[in-house]
């Protein structure tokens, strides 16, 4: 079922490894620190949680503890970028980009400087921290900004690759991370290139396009659909902007329908980006799995995914519904 070219983990469906996606960010920063002395890391009193602490301990002279001031952090980072440094700003996504959006827009994006904004604690899987700390709108507010690249890695390994790749780009970059341990689905050999979607499962009946930790739920859904004689194509959309429109259109030309799956508001996020592209190039029926215009709440991650209809079973139901609409 799995696309061999994707070189995915062999234990995806049983006894899979569990790691926080944010660990990949910390590991990526450490590798960058070894190879590029222009890389600097800024944080707002959240270095342990964002894993930027690992960089802080090894490269203390290139780490700046800003205190609780995300807006100022973005402005300082923009200045550092103007002077030739490669700054990574680290915080919870509700604070950065959430609270610091004005500074990101004007100081970073308007000047088109190379600042990487790393937003952690995204989605309802943040769990007991509740609605105030569950970033559900960050993809939307970042992908709308001119010059911004938006990356949503699916696991810790891909997050490390995305972090390292971000340092080699130009202009503003946003990387989104989840908090909880999630299944590791990729390997060190899995292909990763900014701007290119990866087909994890090839299929002909329905396109399942997803990003972040829900990639694993989507792979499980594809396995369940196969039992019903429906061959789903699973696409890992780790780069939401720039969007790999060619891969999406090539998929839906075969399947004639699509489900977008994201741990984010369905409006203006991954689903919105897909809908915009397909409306222009190849309109097909679409169902949206994600947060349906509501805030989250406190609870265990799996409880919240179930309440807000983002589980494997919910993806299967959405796929069956859109398949029926199209066929």
Please identify every residue annotated as catalytic: 70
Which residue spans within 101-236 are E strands per DSSP?
116-120, 149-151, 173-176, 181-183, 198-201, 206-210, 232-236
Assess contact for 44 and 72: CB atoms under 8 A.
no
From CA 276, how far away is CA 284, in angstroms rounded?
11
Assess contact for 312 and 275: CB atoms under 8 A.
no
Report residue 322 as tokens: 């859109």
From CA 91, how far away is CA 120, in angstroms rounded?
6
CA atoms within 13 A on the CB side of 40: 23
Residue (of 262, 284, 270, 11) closest to 124 by Cα position: 262
For 306, other C-beta atoms within 10 Å of its C-beta total 14
Whether residue 97 is preceded by a cis peptide bond, meaning omega within 30 degrees of 0, is yes
Residue (of 61, 38, 65) closest to 52 by Cα position: 65
Assess contact for 208 and 232: CB atoms under 8 A.
yes
């Amino acid at each position: 079922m799995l696309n061999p070219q994707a070189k995915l983990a062999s234990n995806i469906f049983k006894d899979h490894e569990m790691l926080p996606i944010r660990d990949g960010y910390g590991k990526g920063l450490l590798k960058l620190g070894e190879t590029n002395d222009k890389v600097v890391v800024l944080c707002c009193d959240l270095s342990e949680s964002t894993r930027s602490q690992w960089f802080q301990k090894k490269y203390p002279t290139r780490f700046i503890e800003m205190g609780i001031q995300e807006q100022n952090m973005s402005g300082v980072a923009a200045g550092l970028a103007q002077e030739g440094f490669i700054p990574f700003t680290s915080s919870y996504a509700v604070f950065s980009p959430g609270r610091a959006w004005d500074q990101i827009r004007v100081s970073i994006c308007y000047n088109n400087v190379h600042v990487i904004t790393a937003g952690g604690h995204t989605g309802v899987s943040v769990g007991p921290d509740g609605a105030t700390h569950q970033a559900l709108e960050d993809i939307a507010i970042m992908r709308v900004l001119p010059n911004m690249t938006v990356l949503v890695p699916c696991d810790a390994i891909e997050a490390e690759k995305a972090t390292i790749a971000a340092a080699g780009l130009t202009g503003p970059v946003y990387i989104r991370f989840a908090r909880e341990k999630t299944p590791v689905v990729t390997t060190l050999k899995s292909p990763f290139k900014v701007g290119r979607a990866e087909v994890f499962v090839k299929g002909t009946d329905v396109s399942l396009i997803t990003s972040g930790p829900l990639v694993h739920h989507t792979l499980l859904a594809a396995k369940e659909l196969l039992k019903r004689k429906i061959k789903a194509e699973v696409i890992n959309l780790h780069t939401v902007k720039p969007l790999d429109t060619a891969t999406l259109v090539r998929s839906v030309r075969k399947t004639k329908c699509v489900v977008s799956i994201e741990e984010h508001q369905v409006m203006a996020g991954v689903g919105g980006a897909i809908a915009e592209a397909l409306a222009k190039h190849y309109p097909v029926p679409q169902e949206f799995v994600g947060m349906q215009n509501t805030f989250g709440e406190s609870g265990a991650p799996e409880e919240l995914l179930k309440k807000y209809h983002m589980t494997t079973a919910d993806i299967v139901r959405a796929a069956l519904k859109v398949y029926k609409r199209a066929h």
